[in-house]
A and B are shown apart, each in its own frame.
Chain A
Amino acid sequence: MEEIAFRRDERKEIYPTIENFYKFCGMGKLMAVRCSRCGRLVLPPRPMCPECYSTDLGWIQLSGRGRLETYSEVYVPPKNFASKSPYIIGIVRLAEGVALPGQIIVDRGEKAEVGMELRVDFESAPAEGWPQWPRYFFRPVDRK
């Protein structure tokens, strides 16, 4: 696999930042961090625990499975999404209890439904602009 350059802290650990979160997405991994002091699961990763202010947070891989809590079909998109419109976005409650916003990609003719089971998948990075981050998205389980 191609070497990915993560920003690291003074102990050479991968720093808990948004950019590193998306770099893991580029490797096909949905990652969160857990606070070593209070145990809180933090997603998206932050360099400091919002609960106890510890900066000792360790990366853990999430299952990428979850349920759709709410969704919307977007008909008036921002410019970067114009070619995809209408597309579905939603909030997914992951098996680990934390939630993520993201696109929900369903097959043609298929409908999104609150409560439906989803799994994470990943896009390759867009070619231009900032930030150059690979997006995660969600698909219904038991489908390609």
Chain B
Amino acid sequence: MSGRALAAIISAGLSKFGKLEGLSSREIFLSAAKEAFDRCPNLNPKKDIKSLFIGQMSESSEHQGHTGALIADWLGLNPIPSVRLESACASSGAALRAGVQAIMSGLVETVMVGGVEKMTHLSTFDATEYLALSSDNFLEQWHGFTFPALFALIARAHMLKYKTREEQLAAVAVKNHKNGSKNPKAHIQKEITIEQALNSRIIASPLRLFDCSLISDGASCLILTKPEVAKRYTDEPVYIVGTGQASDTIGLYERDDLTSLNSIAMAAREAYRMADVGPDDLDVAEVHDCFTIAEIISYEMLGLCGKGEGGTFIESGQTEMDGKIPVNTSGGLKSKGHPVGATGTAQAYEIYLQLTGQAGKRQVEGAEIGLTQNLGGHGSTSIVHIFKRNI
């Protein structure tokens, strides 16, 4: 099936990301859905959408489970089947993949996939524990390991083995804030300086505040259909041509090499092969910068640069807006924000805008091929998708 379209995106929606006071998950999701419905007048949601897949990491923040049924109801889409998928921060990446699989199976023609998370009302203690849920509770959380601390362990190992420097980590934050300053939906639309990043307080050494992504509220969604019928709905569909997913140990301590996130490489290999695309073919990518070190390792695992070269790669400027492969044009998790369950399909939303020329001030001219890389936990799940404007 190399290089053929697996599914087509005919519309997409994104809520504002940030501290959305007074709004709960269901209302935030509706604002994303409304954009997707309005963007595609030829779509009759009640008639055309045959299944819903919603990513959300935890029901605990709002004491609201059964999110699949909840969203179907609030979208006025009953009685279509609807499920919530949970894979930590890769929950909506998993929802996207489930939607692609449903279409490929032939069971349904058109589906909605998306994700949502409500987090900003949590205290720092509660948010810390919420995010740590994605690691090994009995061995990691039980000993006081936080989520930033786990990535700090990875960062220190990478710095030691490859001479990666704090300035290189900070350069990721500076770049992503620069991009996010041009994104009207980003949580923090402000540029930062490298000095600000390097002087910010330590969260878990060697990681500082500006190495960490934001705790945000937000939702995102996509409408997918069978490639053969996409043009019935829109003149400018975006085709999904590769999907890959891989799992790794739930505990970081079980890995032989702490400087790699092998699940990314495994997921990417599957997606590249399916798409008949290589890293050099990409025009734009959204990668999972939950921490700055994660973006650096992502470059390496996706083959954008060699192993251990992620630090020099960010410094080379090749992932800037005007570089060879602009990465996180949306601002990434660092500046756009990271409502964990919404992140996977929010990445795909940005690629959809880029490939249809709708990314405004952050448009990569003539972008044809894009990639998203969504991470769950400290790499226990990785999901990669590849998108094409033309088939």
B-contacting residues of A (Cβ < 8 Å)? 18, 44, 69-82, 84, 87, 89-91, 99-103, 114, 131, 133, 135, 137
* Nearest CB on A from B33, distance (A): 34
Asked whether B253 lies within 8 Å of A76 as measured between CB atoms, the reply is: no
B129 contacts across to A, CB distance below 8 A: 78-79
Chain A residues contacting B125 (CB-CB under 8 Å) are: 78-79, 82
CA distance A80 to B140 in the complex (A): 13
Known: A91-B153, A100-B253. A73 touches B202 (CB 8 A): yes
Q: Is the CB of B143 within 8 A of A89?
A: yes
Chain B, interface size category, equals 35 or more
How many residue pairs at the A-B interface have CB separations less than 8 Å?
A: 92
- The interface residues of chain B lying within 8 Å CB-to-CB of A76 are 124, 128, 146, 148, 203-204
A-B contact pairs, 26 of them (CB 8 A): A70-B153, A70-B156, A70-B157, A72-B152, A72-B156, A73-B205, A74-B144, A75-B201, A75-B203, A76-B124, A77-B128, A78-B128, A82-B125, A89-B144, A89-B149, A89-B153, A90-B153, A91-B253, A100-B139, A101-B143, A101-B145, A102-B143, A114-B156, A135-B142, A135-B143, A137-B143
Query: Which residues of B does A touch, CB under 8 Å?
Result: 124-125, 128-129, 132, 136, 138-146, 148-149, 152-154, 156-157, 160, 201-207, 251-254, 258
CB distance from A67 to the nearest CB of B (A): 13
Q: A101 and B146 in contact (CB under 8 A), knowing A77-B128, A78-B125?
A: no
20 additional A-B pairs beyond A44-B138, A76-B146, A114-B160, beta carbons within 8 Å, are: A69-B157, A70-B153, A70-B156, A72-B152, A72-B156, A72-B205, A74-B144, A76-B124, A77-B144, A79-B129, A82-B125, A84-B144, A87-B144, A89-B149, A91-B153, A101-B251, A102-B143, A103-B143, A114-B156, A131-B142
